[in-house]
Chain A
């Protein structure tokens, strides 16, 4: 059935800069904000924007992501026409077929999927950003300006601009130049990795790009520059509001802490733009007689009887009496036992911090200071000490330092 707009969500990246957090799952499946996974944000944005057909392109460690998305029911994307579809790379006749070589190649390999819906416009999204955005406004803008491609941009500081793809635009916001991570940025309009393409145009560029053996088959490196060079109309769409790339340990920690700020610009309690999630069946959380919880997020199934300050607790976390949690993120099922201290740390799913262990420490002048990370399922033994910036992937015995 024909659809005017189809969204394609690039969810195949490993997210290698999240290290231990993505050793078992793809980046879009990393837990975020107490109740969510990163992919909930673009998926919910799609539904709230009226886009009911979404392809999710997976490649790296897709199993958990696949089962998380399932039928798409939590996002109301279980449709009889359209809905959410997982799109892994696949084999073709004569042992043909490859992994997704790049972002553009991932879409190229799914031209057949898009042709099923014969859309006018394709929205390209990525699975590593936290933001709320009405894509339908961006598509309207794209239609009005009759662009071939519209790129969502965010105003950043000149300093930050060196880390982004920067759009240099004329007075009508039409792009005349694109620079990837420029040393001397000419503008401060950073690409957010969100594109609207007129499908017929994009389809042709993808086919041409695939035929070029020297191409790295990437939107930022190849498709956008090729379109510019060919004189296509590329527009920028200015986004204002909260947007954060959560591709590194620090930015993931930061963005979680942002959720605690009262005016963070991304009100999760706003019913007019809900962020949906697949949530496990858990009873309400319990605070014990000794609990001291302040400036924190706490989720269903938690048992808290210790001190929790400036922290984000996902579901089914246990914080025993006398444990102290400061500026930390405890992912689903994490257990912190009596007298343990967790500070400036990320404790991943199901990890256990035994009695009187110490994980992480408050910031110091030491240039090597950073957020400590304990990977999923790891046990940190009694009285063990995990230093700041540590990346713990294996069990640490009692009393040891790591």
Chain B
């Protein structure tokens, strides 16, 4: 399994996520009580035996750097290979905005040429999915495909930001639509691709020479007939994050045991930065029901239907329901929260009442004091 090289695109900050992506890249959005979104794809790679991973970063990636560090929490801190952060040096000369994934790859062309492996997997780092990458790779080799793309039959994305594919009986992709007005096909592409290093380099070169920025529009669509483009259908859980309410809904999905069992499959554990938190302490009057609670919290109040990240404090007499409280949130005594997303280190003072709605959760910006 060492013949596969991992590339993660960590270069979009989705504006529709509002307050949640202001201080960070979408890939470093906290999710599921103790993870950042990039943890899922990095873990998928590592669980498939991938040892060399390049992360292409572009904007506001400081929080991402802080999170992945040397890669040691994913066993990617290695003497040879391991984790490489690929900042946008390529753009410095040309200036301007990052324009698409092919453009991002062109910016790191030299890195790609030096890849030791014969195959490359490309994926965005802003999905929560436990993908059996080893299986996808095996199918790629067995099917003799030029490119294998991972698809889901459970449509999750907003059509304006998603891609859909049509396949024939053999699983070969016959049509691909990019960002349509409405979902017009039965399979949604997760924009995860496996292809040979050689083909990738050819494509990057071709795109750079022809001013093509988008992989789907510029490479896959025009070559549907000539490229053997095969689909891999992933039936497991997939979460994509394209709006604040979507983030909230996907967080609440985790309260379903079937979703947790799929996403946190112990055979393919999701690794994240270790913070050496102690266990969570529940006080004498604490209540906690139907919630996901990470380590290092002090819970003396009441929690229901919520996702509580590491190091959260909920004081006596405080009530939290249907909310997502990120790392370091402090809810003081008597405060009451419902349908709230509190970003990192938010403090909610005594007796405050904050209430959103399931369709419109209230997002509180990082480090705010209410």
Chain A interfacial positions (CB closer than 8 Å to B): 33-35, 73-74, 260, 268-269, 274-277, 279, 281-300, 312-314
Chain B, Cβ-Cβ closest to A308: B282
Which chain B residue lies CB-closest to A268?
B278
Bound complex: CA A260 to CA B278 (Å):
12
Q: Binary interface profile of B, 281-292, with partner A (CB < 8 Å = 1, else 0)?
A: 111111111111
Tell whether, in the assembled complex, residue A313 and residue B279 are in contact, meaning their CB atoms are under 8 Å apart.
yes
Question: How far, in whole Å, are A287 and B293 apart by their CA atoms in the complex?
Answer: 8
- With both beta carbons as reference points, the residue of chain B lying nearest to A296 in the complex is identified as B282
Alpha-carbon separation in the docked complex, A300 to B285 (Å): 21
- Cα–Cα, bound, A285→B277 (Å): 13
With A281-B269, A284-B33, A294-B286 as contacts: A34 and B278 at CB distance below 8 Å: yes
> Which of B6-14, B60-68, B164-172, B294-302 lies at the interface?
B294-302
* A-chain residues with CB within 8 Å of residue B260 when the two chains form the complex: 283, 286
CB of B279 within 8 A of CB of A284, answer: no
Which residues of chain B come closer than 8 Å to A274, judged between CB atoms?
276
Q: Of B279, B285, B289, B308, which contacts A289 at CB under 8 A?
A: B289
Give the docked Cα–Cα distance between A240 and B155 (Å). 61
Asked whether any CB of chain A lies closer than 8 Å to the CB of B58, the reply is: no
Q: Which of A35, A281, A284 contacts B292 (CB 8 A)?
A: A284
- B130 to chain A minimum Cβ distance, whole angstroms, is 11
Query: Across the interface, which residues of B come within 8 angstroms of A298, CB to CB?
Result: 279-280, 282, 293
A residues less than 8 Å from B295 (CB atoms): 35, 284-285, 299-300
- In terms of DSSP, what is the predominant structure of the interface of chain A? loop
- Of the A-B pairs whose beta carbons lie under 8 Å apart in the complex, a sample of 27, sorted by A's number, is A35-B277, A35-B278, A274-B276, A275-B278, A276-B276, A281-B271, A281-B272, A283-B34, A283-B260, A283-B264, A283-B292, A284-B292, A286-B260, A287-B290, A287-B291, A287-B303, A293-B288, A294-B282, A294-B283, A294-B284, A296-B281, A296-B282, A297-B279, A297-B281, A298-B279, A300-B294, A313-B279
Say which residue of B32, B269, B288 sits within 8 Å of A287 (CB atoms): B288
Given A286-B260, A296-B282, A297-B280, are A291 and B34 also a contact pair (CB < 8 Å)?
Answer: no
Per the bound structure, the CA–CA distance linking A118 and B307 in Å amounts to 52
Q: How far is the CA of A292 from the CA of B299 in the complex (A)?
A: 13
Is A291's CB under 8 angstroms from B276's CB? no
Looking across the interface, which residue of chain B has its beta carbon closest to that of A281? B269
Q: Is the CB of A269 within 8 A of B296?
A: yes
CB of B72 closer than 8 Å to a CB of A: yes
CB-defined contacts of A291 to chain B, threshold 8 Å = 288-289
A280 and B284 CA atoms in complex are apart in Å by: 28
Given contacts A282-B269, A283-B32, A287-B290, 16 further A-B pairs with CB under 8 A are A33-B278, A33-B279, A34-B278, A269-B296, A283-B34, A284-B294, A285-B293, A287-B289, A289-B289, A292-B287, A294-B283, A295-B282, A296-B281, A297-B280, A298-B293, A299-B280
Q: Are A286 and B274 in contact (CB under 8 A)?
A: no
A260 touches B281 (CB 8 A): yes
Q: What per-residue 1/0 map shows which CB atoms of B323-341 lie under 8 Å from chain A?
A: 0000000000000000000
Closest to A269 in B: B278
CB-contact partner of A288 in B33, B264, B279, B290, under 8 A:
B290
Collect the chain B residues with CB atoms within 8 Å of residue A289's CB. 289-290
Q: Would you call A286 and B291 a contact (CB within 8 A)? A: yes
Indicate the member of B257, B270, B283 with the most A CB atoms within 10 Å.
B283
How many angstroms from the CA of A292 to the CA of B287 in the assembled complex?
A: 6
Q: Across the interface, do A294 and B285 meet the contact criterion of CB distance under 8 Å? A: yes
B279 (CB) vs chain A CBs: closest residue: A34
Q: Which of A268, A290, A298 has the most CB of B within 10 A?
A: A298
Contact A312-B279, Cβ < 8 Å, known A73-B72, A279-B274, A294-B286: yes
Q: How far is the CA of A281 from the CA of B289 in the complex (A)?
A: 23
With a cutoff of 8 Å between Cβ atoms, the chain B residues found around residue A260 in the complex are 281
**B289 partner residues in chain A, CB cutoff 8 A:** 287-291
A293 touches B279 (CB 8 A): no
Task: With a 10 A CB-CB cut-off, give which of B286, B295, B298 has the most chain A CB atoms.
Answer: B295
Chain B residues closer than 8 Å to A313, beta-carbon distance: 279
For B293, list chain A residues within 8 Å (CB): 284-287, 298
**Complex CA distance for A35 and B310, rounded to whole angstroms:** 14
**Across the interface, which residues of A come within 8 angstroms of B298, CB to CB?**
269
Interchain CA distance A296-B278 in the complex, whole Å: 12
In the assembled complex, how far is the CB of residue B46 from the closest CB belonging to chain A, in whole angstroms? 11
Contact across chains for B290 and A285 when beta carbons are under 8 A apart: no
Instruction: Check A284–B285 contact: CB distance below 8 A.
Output: no
- Which B residues are CB-close (under 8 A) to A288? 289-290
Within 8 A of A (CB), among B166-210: none
Which residues of B from 70 to 101 have beta carbons under 8 Å from A? Answer: 72
- In angstroms, Cα B34 to Cα A33, docked, is 21
Q: A294 CA to B307 CA in the complex, in Å?
A: 18
Residues of chain B within 8 A (CB-CB) of A276 are 276
Interchain CA distance A239-B307 in the complex, whole Å: 41
Q: How far is the CB of A401 from chain B (nearest CB, A)?
A: 33
Cα separation A289 to B284 with both chains bound (whole Å): 19
Known: A279-B274, A283-B32, A283-B264. A295 touches B279 (CB 8 A): no
Knowing A284-B32, A286-B260, the reply to whether A74 touches B274 (Cβ < 8 A) is: yes
CB-defined contacts of B278 to chain A, threshold 8 Å: 33-35, 268-269, 275, 297
Nearest-neighbor residue (CB-CB) of B255 within chain A: A286
The answer to whether B271 and A286 touch across the interface, beta carbons within 8 angstroms, is no
- Specify the chain A residue showing the minimal Cβ separation from B288: A287
Q: How far is the CB of B307 from chain A (nearest CB, A)?
A: 8
Q: Could you tell me the distance in whole angstroms from the C-beta of A42 to the nearest C-beta in chain B?
A: 16
Residues of B within 8 A of A277 (CB): 276
Min distance, Cβ B122 to any Cβ of chain A, angstroms: 25
List of A residues within 8 angstroms of B72 by Cβ: 73
Which of B281, B287, B292, B303 lies at the interface centre, i.e. has the most chain A CB atoms within 10 A of its CB? B281
A312 surroundings in chain B (CB, below 8 A): 279
The CB with the most chain A CB atoms within 10 A, among B33, B287, B289, B294, is that of B289
